[in-house]
Amino acid sequence: MDYRAVVYEIEDKYLSPYAFKSANTKGRLYPTTPCMIRTEFQRDRDRIIHSKSFRRIKHKTQVFLAPEGDHYRTRLTHTLEVSQIARVIARALRLNEDLTEAISLGHDLGHTPFGHAGERALNAKMMNEGGFDHALHSLRVVDVIEYDGRGMNLTYEVRDGIANHSGGGTPATLEGKVVQLSDRIAYLNHDVDDAIRAGVITVNDLPQSVIKTFGSTHGTRIDSMINEVIKNSYAKNEITAGTTAKSVMDEFRAFMFERVYSGNLAKSEEPKVEKMIGFLFDYYLTHLDKLPQYIRDFDVSDKQKVCDYIATMSDTYAVKVFDDIYVPKGWALL
C-alpha cells in the first residue's frame, strides 16, 4: 500500500489553500527512490535528526559561552523550541506541519562553535571569499558537508527555508516564513529567560511595552506572540504578527542587543573565542593534511575547506583541538 497517498489525500482535504502540499515538492538535487510510507518532507526531517551535524549542536553555544548550569539553552534546545513554536503556528493555520518541522530542525545546522562570536571570527577570515553567514552555511551543510561529503539531498522547499530563515531572507513558502518568525519568538524569549537566570537583567528591566503587550512571564510572552501571529495570518497568504506586535518585538530585540547580546559579563569571554578561532583557522590553512579526507576532497578553495571544518566543530571539540595544538604539554622520563 502507498501510505503517502493517504497523506496527500488528507493534505488536499484539510490543509489551507495557501499551504504547500507535499505532493507538489520540486524534488531533490538528485533523484531517489520514493518511500512508500513517508512523504518527502517527512524523510527530510528524519535525515536531519539522524545527522551528525544535528547531534553536534547540543554542544554549540546559543548565547552564553560554556554556562555553568544545566538549564541554559544550547543551539540544540533553541532548535527544539523553534520547532515547537513553528509547529503550533503551522497547525493552527492549517499549513504543512512536516515541511515546517523539517525546516525548523535544519535551520541552524551551519552555526559555528561559540555562537555568533565564532561566526564573526570565521566571517573575518573569509572576508575575501565572500564572508561567512550561518544560514547559507547551514545550506552548505545539508547540500555538501553532511554524510561525509555526500550531503543530505534534501528537497528544494526545505533547503529554501533553511537558507532564508534569517531576517534578511524571504522564504518561498509560508511554512518557511513561519519558521523565520518562530526563530525570533524563540530566541527573544529563551534568551531573556537565560539572561534573568544568569543575573544579567531582571524581569523589571524589560521594556514596559513588552510586558504590557505580551505579559510578564516567559510562558505568557510566548503564548501572546504565537496568538498574534495566528490571529493576523489566519486564512491569509502571508505570515505576520501584525503592526503593533511587530513594533514591540522590534523594541524587545533592540533591548536584548543593548543589554544582553553585547556588553555584559557573560559575553566578556567572546574576544578569546574570536582569537582562538583565528588561531585554528591559520593553523589548518598551513596544515591541510590535518583536515578530514572528505573535506580535503572538496573542489573549493583551501580557506573554504578550513572554514567548513571549523564550522562543524562543537564548542568542546574546538577547545580540545586548540589545547592539543597550542598548549604546551608536560613530559616525563620513561
Interval 198-208: pLDDT, tens: 888 999 999 99
φ/ψ bin of 206: left (φ > 0), alpha (ψ from -120 to 50), beta (otherwise): beta
Contact 53, 141 (CB under 8 A): yes
Over residues 242-256, the pLDDT tens digits come to 999 999 999 999 999
Over residues 63-110, the pLDDT tens digits come to 776 555 667 889 999 999 999 999 999 999 999 999 999 999 999 999
What percent of the chain lies above the pLDDT cut of 70? Answer: 96
Which candidate, 71, 33, 66, places its Cα nearest to that of 273?
Answer: 66
Contacts of 108 (CB under 8 A, 6+ apart): 57, 75, 78, 79, 134, 138
pLDDT band, very low/low/confident/very high, at 323 (cuts 50, 70, 90)? very high
**299 pLDDT higher than 80:** yes
In angstroms, rounded to a whole number, what is the distance separating the alpha carbons of residues 68 and 73?
A: 11
In angstroms, rounded to a whole number, what is the distance separating the alpha carbons of residues 54 and 72?
A: 18
Return mean pLDDT, the chain.
93
Over residues 103-160, the pLDDT tens digits come to 999 999 999 999 889 999 999 999 999 999 999 999 999 999 999 999 999 999 999 9
| The pLDDT value given to residue 265 | 58
Taking the CA atoms of 239, 244, 249 and 250 in sequence, report the sign of the dihedral they define.
Answer: positive
pLDDT band, very low/low/confident/very high, at 266 (cuts 50, 70, 90)? low
Just give the CATH number of 3-315: 1.10.3210.10
Higher pLDDT, 148 or 264: 148
What percent of the chain lies above the pLDDT cut of 90? Answer: 83
Q: Which of 50-54, 228-232, 265-269 has the lowest mean pLDDT?
A: 265-269
| The pLDDT value given to residue 83 | 98
State mean pLDDT over 162-177. Answer: 94
Over residues 21-57, the pLDDT tens digits come to 999 999 999 999 999 999 999 999 999 999 999 999 9
In angstroms, rounded to a whole number, what is the distance separating the alpha carbons of residues 243 and 266?
A: 33
**2 pLDDT higher than 90:** no
Name the residue ranges covered by the structural domains of the chain: 3-315
| The pLDDT value given to residue 213 | 97
Q: Which of 192-196, 246-250, 306-310 has the lowest mean pLDDT?
A: 192-196
Provide the residue count of the chain.
Answer: 334
C-alpha cell at 180: 523565520
| The pLDDT value given to residue 209 | 97
State the Rg of the chain over Cα.
21
C-alpha cell at 77: 534546545
- Whole-prediction pTM value? 0.95
Task: Give 289's DSSP letter.
Answer: G
pLDDT band, very low/low/confident/very high, at 62 (cuts 50, 70, 90)? confident
| The pLDDT value given to residue 57 | 95
